[in-house]
């Protein structure tokens, strides 16, 4: 390859076509910028090809399969349901291709130049793109780094039974007994999904408790227990032996070891931000010691004109974060004063029933506010739950006494994901109790769960026995 | 652990970072000073909330930052150190696959009360480069409204306009403008608030200070220098013990008058930027000499603007010594709220006076003006107070007996 001095001139260069990158590119184009998007693999990133979309498809399949049992109460008889994983895998492939095509079309329609290749920073205003034998240098005005993370490869990957939270959605057979190891939403989701797809599931939780409000933690445990998912809390995994079966040796708090035997195991892969591969070190860009790029509230890095968004920056590796950051960065480049603030970023878990959590949990609120009040309203008390037969879960809300300011809205139950936007909106608008109880809530619907929980803060929930 | 610029009181919303006492890698104990900040009024040290190791200094010295800004990072054993787990190599992980955290520590802001403003309002502030944290909300429950943001924008604009107004225009108006900001604005706000909310009145008295001046000279001949003010302060401390309501604050909300156990004397000090009131603490417990040294020190610091927060807080009674400034014979000072009384000393003059034997003698006379909160103090008590004060000053021996 020849590194010439001739550089092609570009305006805004976006590195990486995942959810953060492509949305940044489109937003910048909407604001009148000429945009070049560099992607080395396929548009849509991990989210689309191995992350969010495949996992949610599996969750949907699990949920539907589970719901078959409850059809008979509606008079619908289903004889012996069959589940063909190969069809699900084909559907997954089709969805991915269809969504990729959609994004590709949008890129074209927004007149965004798409370049295939791996990018490497040469200086703070020049980037090289390598594609096969070609190496082209571009000089840009602004750049958005959305290059994400890469799995650090592992010897384990050669054994088809040792999976991570991406490869598990590419499997060809449903595990007979799946051991799920983790400490975040992915572990909960995967445990829930595969239990419903027919696996026996054991969850090895690496921490003391689940990460939600205490009320939700309790409900998840109850539901998992009912579904015969065994949970091992506060464990350290000492050894994994991939023999005829997968043997997992774990050690609890007190130092006692036990062995769990399973047919398959899933755990998080170690992922490394792609910052050094991009050569940001040579620019003197500020990174965390583990390589995550440090950005400010406008998503700008320590180098003027270079922005970074998504998994390559600090914070949770979630598409919801990347998407927001991508827009903020693009708007910053176009001179709009946007800000990224994750105070009310919802935590969503597609378990069955799903969880959504926004704002402070009780434990967090107690640290900051002197006088808080919480109320919980069970979904089972709603008319809609009687109709659908989905009675699990509840809504827990927190407010500051005196000011009536809402501090957190946490829910588990059918509809929790859809309702999460109401929670986010209420908290972003600095909503107080009356702001939420004033309006109308369609009947019958799960929306009423939120209404009654907030009414319960003032002991005014209709479908709740008076406090004794 | 993030170390933030906390509310520094006195209505100040921002401060300048002077210098750090530590550098990254330093070990610190709880309460060790980490950084010094300065406002228009004073300097303050921010102590370490816990023991730990200094991780990173974020703000450059010399920068002006709003309250709530993270100044530096501290690694404290009390804060969970999840991220270290991420650094495990994969080899280790394959033996011990338990501990990689796929989700890195989410730096969710949970330890600070949030800004009560809708996203739309927040954007208006951002669009005008206004830090919304510095705006006080006037809306329900302290919400920041669009109008609050716009009024800050208007204020800033008019300040800029004032500063950049062409000279011709100024001469046309025959008026110059001075900035009404910082310490000047703080004083303005406080006196206006007190004047409008506390019904207070002032009474005058004339005191013969001849004996005190003689005593002072005598002490000087012994090689000690104690100013007349110290004698006045000591005499006041005796009076305040006898009339505790003059050393009190009214708590109207709870329907009680708080009588203070300690006597901390606020000293009104005139500086080139305006009035400052450093506090001479625990007057009755200290010797004349200690008080003299401490008062001098406070005056010096006030002039150099190096007073600490602690030195500006906690006064229970205030004196204003107008004497050294020249020839006033009386004044109607505004209370230093929430204190209930304040005394001003005016210029000492030699005057012909009539003594007990109806003879005209030359005596050193000083006028005092005493302002008091009329809600809790009546004129009669005020006269009794100044009478007692006059007695102690006119007959220093009686003061010495009481000390």
In this prediction, residues A55-74 reach a mean pLDDT of 95
Residues annotated within a binding site of A for FAD: 56, 311
Query: Buried b / exposed e across B157-172, counting CB within 10 Å, b at 16+?
Result: eeeeeeeeeeeeeeee
The answer to whether B83 contacts A290, with C-beta atoms less than 8 Å apart, is yes
- The yes-or-no verdict on residue B102 having pLDDT over 70 is no
The answer to whether position B349 is within a domain reads yes
Residues 404-443 of A with CB under 8 A from B: 404-405, 428-430, 432
Tell me: do B296 and B360 sit in the same domain: yes
Q: Which of B87, B104, B113 is closest, CB to CB, to A368?
A: B113
Last residue of a domain, one of A266, A300, A320: A266
Tell me: do A276 and A256 sit in the same domain: no
Tell me: do B128 and B190 sit in the same domain: no
The answer to whether position A464 is within a domain reads no
Residue A428 has what pLDDT? 95
Tell me: do A252 and A281 sit in the same domain: no
The answer to whether position A17 is within a domain reads yes
The answer to whether A154 contacts B94, with C-beta atoms less than 8 Å apart, is yes
The answer to whether position A319 is within a domain reads yes
Tell me: do A17 and A120 sit in the same domain: yes
pLDDT in tens, A99-124: 999 999 999 999 999 999 999 999 99
CATH number for the domain including A370? Answer: 3.30.390.30
Residue B324 has what pLDDT? 80
Percent of chain B at pLDDT above 90? Answer: 37
Residues annotated within a binding site of A for NAD(+): 182-189
The answer to whether position B75 is within a domain reads yes
Residue B88 has what pLDDT? 31
Tell me: do A400 and A363 sit in the same domain: yes
Residue B9 has what pLDDT? 58
Tell me: do A105 and A251 sit in the same domain: no
Q: ipTM above 0.85?
A: no
Q: Are A449 and A411 in contact (CB under 8 A)?
A: yes
Residue B280 has what pLDDT? 94
Residues in B closer than 8 angstroms to A429, CB to CB, are 118-119
For the ranges A297-301, A451-455, B207-211, B328-332, which has the lowest average pLDDT? B328-332
- The yes-or-no verdict on residue B81 having pLDDT over 50 is no
- The yes-or-no verdict on residue B34 having pLDDT over 60 is yes
The answer to whether position A160 is within a domain reads yes
In this prediction, residues A131-138 reach a mean pLDDT of 90
Nearest chain A residue to B140 by CA distance is A403
Nearest chain B residue to A240 by CA distance is B95
Residues in A closer than 8 angstroms to B103, CB to CB, are 183-185, 316-317
Count the helix, strand and coil residues of chain A and give each as a percent rounded to the nearest 5.
35, 25, 40
In this prediction, residues A330-350 reach a mean pLDDT of 95
- The yes-or-no verdict on residue B78 having pLDDT over 50 is no
For the ranges A336-340, A442-446, B128-132, B176-180, which has the lowest average pLDDT? B176-180
Confidence of residue B8 (pLDDT cuts 50, 70, 90): low
C-alpha triplet B6, B11, B14: angle, nearest 5°: 50
Tell me: do A145 and A284 sit in the same domain: yes
Tell me: do B169 and B190 sit in the same domain: no
CA distance B84 to chain A (A): 9
- The yes-or-no verdict on residue B90 having pLDDT over 50 is no
Residues 334-363 of B with CB under 8 A from A: none
Last residue of a domain, one of A226, A241, A266: A266
Residues annotated within a binding site of A: 56, 182-189, 311
CATH number for the domain including A230? Answer: 3.50.50.60
The answer to whether position B110 is within a domain reads no
Residues in A closer than 8 angstroms to B79, CB to CB, are none
Residue count (chain A): 468
The answer to whether A292 contacts B97, with C-beta atoms less than 8 Å apart, is no
Count other C-beta atoms under 10 Å from residue B253's C-beta.
6
**Alpha carbon distances (Å) from A188 to A67, A226, A252, A301, A340:** 19, 15, 20, 34, 28
CATH number for the domain including B166? Answer: 4.10.320.10
Nearest chain B residue to A315 by CA distance is B106
pLDDT in tens, A136-179: 999 999 999 999 999 886 655 578 899 999 999 999 999 999 99
Phi-psi region of A259 (alpha: psi -120 to 50; beta: other; left: phi over 0): beta
Residue B367 has what pLDDT? 93
Tell me: do B157 and B13 sit in the same domain: no
Closest by CA position to A233, among listed A282, A298, A188 = A188
My answer on whether omega of the bond before A353 falls inside 30° of 0, hence cis, is yes
Tell me: do A214 and A232 sit in the same domain: yes
pTM, 2 dp? 0.63
Residue B77 has what pLDDT? 60
Three-class DSSP category at B401: helix
Tell me: do B157 and B260 sit in the same domain: no
Between residues B15 and B260, which one has the greater pLDDT? Answer: B260
CA distance A239 to chain B (A): 5
Residue A443 bears catalytic tag: yes
The answer to whether position A452 is within a domain reads yes
For the ranges A233-242, A417-426, B180-189, which has the lowest average pLDDT? B180-189
Tell me: do A250 and A316 sit in the same domain: no
Tell me: do A161 and A138 sit in the same domain: no
- The yes-or-no verdict on residue B112 having pLDDT over 90 is no
Look up residue B195 and give its two tokens.
């004047």
For chain B, say whether A155 makes contact (Cβ under 8 Å): yes
- The yes-or-no verdict on residue A233 having pLDDT over 80 is yes
The answer to whether position B377 is within a domain reads yes
For chain A, say whether B100 makes contact (Cβ under 8 Å): yes
* CB burial of residue A16 (10 Å; 0-12, 13-18, 19+): buried
Q: Which of B94, B117, B118 is closest, CB to CB, to A155?
A: B94
Residue B15 has what pLDDT? 81
CATH number for the domain including B16? Answer: 2.40.50.100
Characterize the bridge pairing of strands B341-354 and A126-131. unpaired
**Residue A183's domain spans which residues?**
155-266
**Residue B123's domain spans which residues?**
115-179
Last residue of a domain, one of B132, B156, B179: B179
For chain B, say whether A156 makes contact (Cβ under 8 Å): yes
Counting one residue from chain A and one from chain B, the pairs whose CB atoms sit within 8 A come to: 111
Residues A398, A391: Cα–Cα separation, whole Å? 22
CA distance B18 to chain A (A): 23
Residue B166 has what pLDDT? 54
For chain A, say whether B116 makes contact (Cβ under 8 Å): yes
The answer to whether B86 contacts A290, with C-beta atoms less than 8 Å apart, is yes
pLDDT in tens, B373-386: 999 999 999 999 99
Tell me: do B321 and B212 sit in the same domain: yes
The residue among B68, B104, B146 with the most chain A CBs within 10 A of its CB, best to mutate, is: B104
Characterize the bridge pairing of strands B274-276 and B265-271. antiparallel
The answer to whether position A342 is within a domain reads no
Residues A71, A50: Cα–Cα separation, whole Å? 32
Tell me: do B268 and B352 sit in the same domain: yes
Confidence of residue B319 (pLDDT cuts 50, 70, 90): very high
Residue A133 has what pLDDT? 87
Tell me: do B261 and B373 sit in the same domain: yes
In this prediction, residues B159-167 reach a mean pLDDT of 62
For chain B, say whether A294 makes contact (Cβ under 8 Å): no
For chain B, say whether A234 makes contact (Cβ under 8 Å): no
Residue B28 has what pLDDT? 84
Tell me: do A26 and A136 sit in the same domain: yes
To the nearest 10°, the Cα dihedral for A206, A364, A47, A145?
Answer: -110
- Looking at the structure of chain A, the number of domains it has is 3
Tell me: do A260 and A284 sit in the same domain: no
CATH number for the domain including B267? Answer: 3.30.559.10
Residues A335, A329: Cα–Cα separation, whole Å? 10
The answer to whether position A260 is within a domain reads yes
For chain B, say whether A322 makes contact (Cβ under 8 Å): no
Residues B93, A234: Cα–Cα separation, whole Å? 17
Residue A281 has what pLDDT? 86
Residue A250 has what pLDDT? 94
The answer to whether position A389 is within a domain reads yes
The residue among A275, A371, A427, A430 with the most chain B CBs within 10 A of its CB, best to mutate, is: A430
CA distance B52 to chain A (A): 19
The answer to whether position B102 is within a domain reads no
Confidence of residue B7 (pLDDT cuts 50, 70, 90): low
Residue-averaged pLDDT of chain A: 94
The answer to whether position B214 is within a domain reads yes
- The yes-or-no verdict on residue B12 having pLDDT over 90 is no
Residue-averaged pLDDT of chain B: 81
The answer to whether position B45 is within a domain reads yes
Residue B193 has what pLDDT? 86
CA distance B70 to chain A (A): 12
The answer to whether position B324 is within a domain reads yes
pLDDT in tens, A52-62: 999 999 999 99
pLDDT in tens, A365-383: 999 899 999 999 999 999 9
In this prediction, residues A421-430 reach a mean pLDDT of 96
Q: Which of B106, B118, B126 is closest, CB to CB, to A316?
A: B106
- The yes-or-no verdict on residue B92 having pLDDT over 60 is no
Tell me: do B192 and B300 sit in the same domain: yes
CA distance A1 to chain B (A): 33
Last residue of a domain, one of A225, A240, A266: A266
For chain A, say whether B127 makes contact (Cβ under 8 Å): yes
For the ranges A401-405, B57-61, B162-166, which has the lowest average pLDDT? B162-166
- The yes-or-no verdict on residue B111 having pLDDT over 70 is no
In this prediction, residues A82-102 reach a mean pLDDT of 96
Nearest chain B residue to A153 by CA distance is B90
Q: Are A198 and B116 in contact (CB under 8 A)?
A: no
In this prediction, residues A31-53 reach a mean pLDDT of 95
Residues in A closer than 8 angstroms to B108, CB to CB, are 342-343, 345
Nearest chain A residue to B115 by CA distance is A430
For the ranges A149-153, A240-244, A401-405, B231-235, which has the lowest average pLDDT? A149-153
Tell me: do A147 and A277 sit in the same domain: yes
- The yes-or-no verdict on residue A79 having pLDDT over 90 is no
- Looking at the structure of chain B, the number of domains it has is 3
């Amino acid at each position: 390859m020849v590194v010439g001095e001739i550089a092609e001139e570009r305006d805004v260069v976006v590195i990486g076509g995942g959810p953060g990158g492509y949305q940044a590119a489109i937003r910048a184009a909407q604001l009148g910028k000429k945009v070049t998007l560099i992607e080395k693999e396929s548009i849509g990133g991990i989210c689309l090809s191995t992350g969010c979309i495949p996992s949610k498809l599996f969750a949907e399949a699990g949920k539907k399969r589970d719901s078959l049992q409850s059809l008979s109460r509606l008079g619908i008889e289903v004889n012996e349901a069959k589940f063909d994983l190969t069809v699900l895998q084909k559907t997954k492939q089709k969805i991915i291709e269809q969504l990729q095509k959609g994004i590709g079309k949008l890129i074209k329609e927004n007149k965004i130049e798409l370049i295939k290749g791996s990018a490497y920073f040469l200086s703070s205003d020049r980037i090289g793109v390598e594609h096969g034998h070609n190496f082209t240098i571009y000089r840009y005005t602004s750049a958005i780094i959305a290059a994400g993370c890469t799995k650090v490869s592992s010897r384990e990957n050669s054994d088809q039974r040792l999976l991570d939270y991406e490869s598990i959605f590419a499997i060809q057979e449903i595990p007979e007994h799946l051991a799920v190891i983790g400490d975040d939403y992915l572990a909960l989701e995967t445990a829930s999904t595969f239990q419903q797809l027919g696996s026996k599931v054991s969850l090895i939780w690496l921490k003391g408790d689940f990460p939600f409000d205490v009320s939700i933690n309790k409900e998840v445990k109850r539901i998992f227990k009912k579904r015969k998912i065994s949970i091992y809390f506060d464990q350290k995994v000492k050894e994994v032996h991939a023999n005829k079966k997968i043997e997992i040796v774990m050690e609890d708090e007190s130092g006692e070891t036990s062995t769990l035997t399973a047919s398959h195991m899933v755990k998080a892969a170690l992922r490394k931000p792609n910052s050094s591969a991009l050569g940001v070190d040579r620019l003197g860009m500020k990174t965390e010691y583990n390589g995550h790029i440090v950005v400010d509230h406008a998503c700008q890095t320590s180098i003027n004109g270079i922005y970074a968004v998504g998994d390559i920056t600090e914070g949770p590796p979630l598409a919801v974060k990347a998407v927001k950051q991508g827009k903020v960065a693009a708007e910053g480049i176009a001179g709009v004063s946007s800000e990224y603030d994750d105070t009310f970023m919802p935590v969503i878990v597609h378990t069955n029933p799903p969880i959504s959590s926004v704002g402070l949990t009780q434990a967090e609120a107690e640290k900051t506010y002197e006088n808080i009040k919480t109320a919980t309203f069970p979904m089972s008390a709603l008319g809609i739950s009687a109709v659908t037969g989905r009675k699990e879960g509840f809504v827990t809300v927190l407010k500051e006494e005196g000011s009536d300011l809402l501090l957190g809205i946490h829910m588990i139950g059918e509809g929790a994901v859809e309702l999460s936007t109401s929670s986010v909106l209420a908290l972003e608008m600095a909503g107080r109790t009356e702001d939420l109880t004033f309006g109308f809530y369609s009947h019958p619907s799960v929306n009423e769960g939120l209404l009654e929980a907030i009414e319960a803060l003032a002991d005014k929930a209709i479908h709740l026995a008076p406090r004794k | 652990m993030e170390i933030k610029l906390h509310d520094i009181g006195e209505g100040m919303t921002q401060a300048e970072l002077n210098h750090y006492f530590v550098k990254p890698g330093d070990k610190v104990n709880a309460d060790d000073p980490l950084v010094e900040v300065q406002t228009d009024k004073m300097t303050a040290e921010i102590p370490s909330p816990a023991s730990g190791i200094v991780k990173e200094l974020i703000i450059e010295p010399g920068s002006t930052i709003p309250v709530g800004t993270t100044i530096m990072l501290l690694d404290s054993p009390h804060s969970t150190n999840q991220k270290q787990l991420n650094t495990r190599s994969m080899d280790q992980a394959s033996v011990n696959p338990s501990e990689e955290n796929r989700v890195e520590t989410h730096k969710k802001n949970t330890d600070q009360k949030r800004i009560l403003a809708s996203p739309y309002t927040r954007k208006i502030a951002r669009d005008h480069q206004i830090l919304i944290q510095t705006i006080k909300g006037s809306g329900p429950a302290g919400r920041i409204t669009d109008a609050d943001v716009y009024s800050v924008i208007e204020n800033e604009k008019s300040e800029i306009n004032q500063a950049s107004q062409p000279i011709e225009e100024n001469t046309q108006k025959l008026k110059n403008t001075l900035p009404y900001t910082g310490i000047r604005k703080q004083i303005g706000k406080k006196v206006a608030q007190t004047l409008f909310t506390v019904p207070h009145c002032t009474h005058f008295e004339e005191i013969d200070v001849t004996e005190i001046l003689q005593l002072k000279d005598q002490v000087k001949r012994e090689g000690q220098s104690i100013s007349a003010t110290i004698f006045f302060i000591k005499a006041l401390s005796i009076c305040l013990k006898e009339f505790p309501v003059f050393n009190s604050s009214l708590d109207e909300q709870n329907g009680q008058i708080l009588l203070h156990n300690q006597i901390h004397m606020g000293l009104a000090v005139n500086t080139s930027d305006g009035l400052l009131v450093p506090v001479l603490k625990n007057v009755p417990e200290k010797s004349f000499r200690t008080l003299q040294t401490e008062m001098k020190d406070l005056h010096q610091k006030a002039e150099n603007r190096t007073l600490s927060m602690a030195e500006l807080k906690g006064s229970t009674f205030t004196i204003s010594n107008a004497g050294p400034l020249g020839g006033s014979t009386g004044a109607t000072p505004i209370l230093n709220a929430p204190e209930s009384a304040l005394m001003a000393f005016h210029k000492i003059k030699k005057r012909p006076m009539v003594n007990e034997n109806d003879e005209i003698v030359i005596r050193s006379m000083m006028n005092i003006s005493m302002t008091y909160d009329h809600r809790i103090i009546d004129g009669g008590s005020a006269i009794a107070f100044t009478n007692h004060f006059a007695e102690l000053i006119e007959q220093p021996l009686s003061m010495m007996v009481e000390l």
